[in-house]
């Protein structure tokens, strides 16, 4: 399966490379931008807080890569908190599981002790197979559970 995934990723990267090679003239074209946050010409000419920002001419490929890196960073940021929440849930569930396993072991030893006492109380002339004894105990436990 891992070789199949590597092959799929190789094909995807090959298509991306071909896309960039065929559109090389577009990606190497340089563009300059003027950024006016508020869109009001009189505020952008004011020399105080509302200045017009000018971005120097850069190739389009740099702009595309910048937005790609920004998108990866934003997705990592949002997934990071989910990852932390999952780790906390896993830690909590593991401790609950450990606690329940200890409780099961405690109940099994208690049941074994009760069975041993019951076997000791039986007269030696009567031999009841342990399977029948266990079935009786299970039936009694089911009846007790139904009662509440």
Q: What is the mean pLDDT of residues 42-68?
A: 76
pLDDT value for 10: 94
**pLDDT above 70 for 7:** yes
**pLDDT above 80 for 90:** yes
DSSP string, the chain: -HHHHHHHHHHHHHHHHHHHHHTHHHHT-EEEEEE-SS--HHHHHSSSS-PPEEEEEEEHHHHHHHHHHHHHHHHHHHHHHHHHHHHHHHHHHHHHHHHHHHHHHHHHHHHHHHHHHHHHHS-TT----HHHHHHHHHHHHHHHHHH-
Quote the pTM value: 0.50
| pLDDT digit string, tens, across residues 14-37 | 998 999 889 989 888 998 887 766
């Amino acid at each position: 399966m891992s070789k199949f995934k590597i092959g799929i990723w190789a094909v995807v990267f090959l298509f991306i490379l071909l896309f960039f090679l065929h559109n090389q003239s577009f990606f190497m074209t340089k563009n300059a931008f003027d950024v006016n946050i508020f869109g009001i010409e009189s505020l952008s000419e004011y020399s105080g807080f509302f200045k017009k920002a000018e971005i120097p001419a850069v190739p389009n490929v740099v702009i595309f890569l910048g937005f790609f890196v920004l998108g990866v960073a934003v997705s990592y940021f949002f997934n990071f908190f989910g990852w932390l929440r999952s780790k906390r849930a896993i830690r909590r569930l593991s401790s609950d599981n450990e606690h329940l396993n200890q409780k099961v072991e405690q109940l099994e030893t208690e049941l074994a002790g009760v069975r041993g006492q019951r076997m000791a109380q039986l007269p030696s002339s009567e031999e009841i197979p342990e399977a029948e004894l266990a079935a009786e105990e299970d039936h009694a436990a089911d009846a007790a559970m139904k009662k509440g």
